[in-house]
Structure formats: structure tokens, C-alpha cells
Amino acid sequence: MTASISRSRPGDADAQTAPSWHTIREASLVSGLPESTLRYYESIGILGPISRDPSSGHRMYSDDDLDVLMNIACLNATGMPLSHMREYLSNRSSGPQGAGRQVELMAAQGRSLDRQMEELRLRRRYVDVKTRYWQAVGRDDTQAAQAVLDQGAGVIEALRSLARSRNRLKSGESGD
């Protein structure tokens, strides 16, 4: 996974039993998250407070911090909202009592991914319609071009509807 660079933190009495410490750059490389994201996640509480080198003030990530970062990176890769990430991470130590909520959070994220996959399939069908349309135009076959548009009308309208609903959400309209 990572080339562990074992360093004792300044002030550690026994370097042989001291934990491994990693710079923010190393933590970024291991997790795949940009350094700015690591700082941001710490500032908003997604990632707990990170130890600092007493002499330089630089962040020093422990092996445990890297394990948490890998979990965060995976949650981030699923597109999980920050509020759900925070809750998920805080529930980890809740045992059976927190497990139910963990299941709910992951199920909600699964549903979100299902919606996104369906939207991607719709976008792909739209691209296919437009590709076939422009192929017909390129052949100077206006009849075939119109037939493609007629056959793809449902896909085109569905994508337009999706775009409109996204624009409403961005502008804060409810659509009611």
C-alpha cells in the first residue's frame, strides 16, 4: 500500500517503539486526496485533529490517521455528502447500536449511486442518438436524420427534463 516512513516524533523517548509518522504529502499520496482536502476535512471535523510536529508545527499523520484517511477516501469516491461522511465516521465506534444507522447511510448512498448510474445511461443514450443523427447528416440523408430524431425523441425529452430539474435544484426552486 504505502512505503511506510518510520520516524519518531520529536519528543518521543524511544524511537524503536514510536509510531510511524507521515507528512501531509505522504498522507495525500497514500489516500489519493489533495493536501488542501486533507486540511479542509480536518477544519470541518471529517478528520479528527492531526498531531503537529512541536518544532515546526507541520501536520504529522499517524498510521491510524492513514487508516481513517483511506476510509474517508473511499467514502469520498462514492460521492457521499460531507454530512453523511461525518456521521458515518462518528458512528464507527458505536457498535451494534450504530450499525443500523451505518446501514441506512450506506443504503442511501447506494440509492444515490443507482440514480446517478441511471442518469449516466440516459446521457449515453442521448449521445448515441446525436451520433446517429450527425452520421445521417454527414451522409446528407435528411430523411434518416429526421427518423433518428423521431426515434430518439423520448431520450432527448428525458435528458431535457433532467437538465431542467437540476437547474431548479441549483436555483433553489422546488418545482411545485
Under the banding of pLDDT at 50, 70 and 90, the label for residue 168 is confident
Say if 127 falls within a structural domain: yes
Per-residue pLDDT of 101-142, as tens digits, reads: 999 999 999 999 999 999 999 999 999 999 999 999 999 999
Say if 43 falls within a structural domain: no
Contact 38, 31 (CB under 8 A): yes
Question: Alpha carbon 80 to chain centroid distance?
Answer: 6
Say if 117 falls within a structural domain: yes
Say if 130 falls within a structural domain: yes
Into how many domains does the chain fold?
1
Say if 124 falls within a structural domain: yes
Say if 18 falls within a structural domain: no
Say if 27 falls within a structural domain: no
Say if 103 falls within a structural domain: no
Per-residue pLDDT of 10-30, as tens digits, reads: 455 555 566 789 999 999 999
Contact residues for 92 (Cβ-Cβ < 8 A; gap 6+) = 98, 102
Backbone angles phi, psi at 9, to 5 degrees: -75, 140
Per-residue pLDDT of 139-154, as tens digits, reads: 999 999 999 999 999 9
Domain encompassing residue 140? 113-171
